[in-house]
Amino acid sequence: MSARTLPLIATIVIFLLAYLVCYLQFPAMLSTRVIGNLLTDNAYLGIVAVGMTIVILSGGIDLSVGSVIAFAGVFIAVMLRDTGLHPVAVFAALLAITTAFGAAMGGLIHVLAMPPFIVTLAGMFLARGAGYMLSVDSVPIDEPFYDFLKDAYYLMPGKGRLTLIGIVMLLSVAAGMVIAHRTRFGTSVFALGGGVQTARLMGVNVGRTTVLIYAFSGFMAGLSGIVFSIYTASSYPLAMVGTELNAIAAVVIGGTILTGGAGYVFGTLIGVLTMGLIQTYIVFDGSLSSWWTKIVIGMLLLLFILLQKGLLRLDIRRRAGAA
């Protein structure tokens, strides 16, 4: 078993075991209703985590996504309130903005040769500030098209609702899987994560790839913002603080190595669902407090980071032994 697949398998096993534990205690949790809610409630996180997965696979990090989602919500609400544009046109404009924003950060990272951490930190401040500038207060969205989007769902057997935004999330994951594992761009992303120097030697256009990676993350953050605004039907510039952290956690729990170069987009979906499951369990239990979510996620993070560190060492030792 290679060092790449083991974390993914561990992720899936942990998720299934956790689900089994939940089921044994609350049989109701194995209903399509719960599953549908799990997808709907975590749709925004799943979408943004797909973008984050690509970024992390390339060895980078994007701290700006939470702020971008918040900006997206405010942008949509203000545009719908102040202009007569159709929501779809607003969505398109928003996605163009967030994609360009991500591309700009990618460009800065490459041109300045500075750590992505600090560049996207600036992006985080900037996007949050831009959101504030549009509106300091919460803006409700009152739009018939929104009600339509919100209520669009497919009724699964067992009366579970597979909502539109849940489907968008699943489609995003599928798109992410194709991009990461089935395109030349995806291979270049893995190559960057494996080592910038080697990647350059092998012919990767590092600058272009970096710009595209962060543009993709910006696009996904914008899409996540749309989904979140549909989910809440309102916007608030202070919303989504810390989402970047949750997205990073989901990626790592999903078995992607935080230093880049190895991982699966599908794992990220499982990571998101695992985090959602913990929350659902706490809701079902009723007596457990919400902070256990953070503690358990922290413990899972530790587990996966140590697991990957251990695998890496084992790998090096095995190769040294073979040499």
Partner 1 sequence: MPQVFRRILPQVLTLLAVILLVSLVFPGFVQIDFERGRLVGPIIDVLKRGAPVALLAVGMTLVIATRGIDLSVGATMAISGACAAWAISSGYGLIPALAAAIAAGILSGLWNGTLVAVFGIQPIVATLILMTAGRGLAQLITEGRILTFSHDGLAFFGSGTILGLPVPALIWCVAAVLFALLVRRTALGLLIEAIGINRRASTIAGINSRVLLVAVYVASGFCAAWAGIIATADIRGADANNSGLWLELDAILAVVIGGNSLMGGRFSIAASVLGALIIQTIDTGILLAGFPSEFNLVIKATLVIVILVLQSPNLAPHLARALRISRGAPLVGSSAAREAGE
Partner 2 sequence: MLLTIRSLTKTFPGTLALDAVDFDLAAGEAHALLGENGAGKSTLIKCLTGAYARDSGNLHLDGAPISPASTLEAQELGIGTVYQEVNLLPNLTVAENLTFGRQPVRFGMIGQRAMRRQAEELLSGYGLDVDVRRDLGSYSVAVQQIVAIARAVALSGKVLILDEPTASLDARETEMLFDVMRKLRDRGLGVVFISHFLDQVYEIADRVTVLRNGKRIVTEETAGLDRLRLIEHMLGRELEAQTAEGAQQPAEPADPSARELHFEGIGRRGKIEPFDLSVGRGEVVGLAGLLGSGRTETAEVLFGVHPAQVGTARAPEGALDLSSPRAAIAAGFGFAPEDRKTDGIVADLSVRENIALALQARRGWSRPLPRAEQNRLADEYIRRLDIRTSDAEKAVGDLSGGNQQKVVLARWLAMNPRFLILDEPTRGIDVGAHAEILRLIEEVTRRDGMSVLVISSELEELVAVADRVIVVRDRSHVAEFTGADIAPDRIMRAIAAPDVAAPDEEAA
Cβ 105 to partner 2, closest distance in Å? Answer: 24
Structure token pair of residue 207: 């600058």
Does 187 engage in binding with partner 2 (CB under 8 A)? Answer: yes
Task: Decide: helix, strand or coil at residue 205.
Answer: coil
CA distances from 229 to 75, 125, 126, 181, 252 (A): 10, 21, 20, 30, 26
Question: Would you give the DSSP letter of residue 50?
Answer: H
With CA atoms as reference, report the closest residue to 38 among 51, 29, 47. Answer: 29
- H/E stretch holding 258: none
CA distance 260 to 308: 11
Cβ 117 to partner 2, closest distance in Å? Answer: 21
Task: Decide whether 83 or 198 has the Cβ nearer to partner 2.
Answer: 198
Task: Decide whether 208 or 294 has the Cβ nearer to partner 1.
Answer: 294
Cβ 173 to partner 2, closest distance in Å? Answer: 16
Q: Give me the residues that bind partner 1 (CB under 8 A), please.
A: 61, 108, 111-115, 117-119, 121-126, 128-133, 136, 237, 241, 245, 248-249, 258-259, 289-295, 297-299, 301-302, 305-306, 309
Does 208 engage in binding with partner 2 (CB under 8 A)? Answer: no
CA distance 307 to 299: 12
Cβ 195 to partner 2, closest distance in Å? Answer: 7
CA distance 58 to 213: 8
Task: Decide whether 59 or 276 has the Cβ nearer to partner 2.
Answer: 59
**Among partner 2, partner 1, none, what does residue 195 contact (CB within 5–8 Å per kind)?**
partner 2
- DSSP E strand boundaries for the chain: 139-140, 153-155, 161-163, 234-235
Q: What size, in residues, is the chain?
A: 323
Interacting residues with partner 2 between 244 and 283 (CB under 8 A): 261-262
Q: Among 89, 155, 201, 295, which residue interacts with partner 2 (rule: CB under 8 A)?
A: 201
Please count the residues of this chain forming the interface with partner 2, following the rule CB under 8 A: 27
CA distance 221 to 130: 15
**Among partner 1, partner 2, none, what does residue 259 contact (CB within 5–8 Å per kind)?**
partner 1
Cβ 170 to partner 2, closest distance in Å? Answer: 19
CA distance 198 to 202: 6
Task: Decide whether 157 or 319 has the Cβ nearer to partner 2.
Answer: 319
* Largest separation between any pair of C-alpha atoms in the chain: 69
Cβ 161 to partner 1, closest distance in Å? Answer: 31
Does 190 engage in binding with partner 2 (CB under 8 A)? Answer: yes
Task: Decide whether 68 or 168 has the Cβ nearer to partner 1.
Answer: 68
Cβ 85 to partner 1, closest distance in Å? Answer: 24
In angstroms, the first-to-last Cα distance of the chain is 20
Residue 38 near residue 276 (C-beta atoms within 8 A): yes
Residue 68 near residue 101 (C-beta atoms within 8 A): yes
Task: Decide whether 144 or 203 has the Cβ nearer to partner 2.
Answer: 203
Q: Which residues bind partner 2 (CB under 8 A)?
A: 2-4, 178, 182-184, 187, 190-191, 193-195, 197-199, 201-204, 261-262, 315, 319-320, 322-323
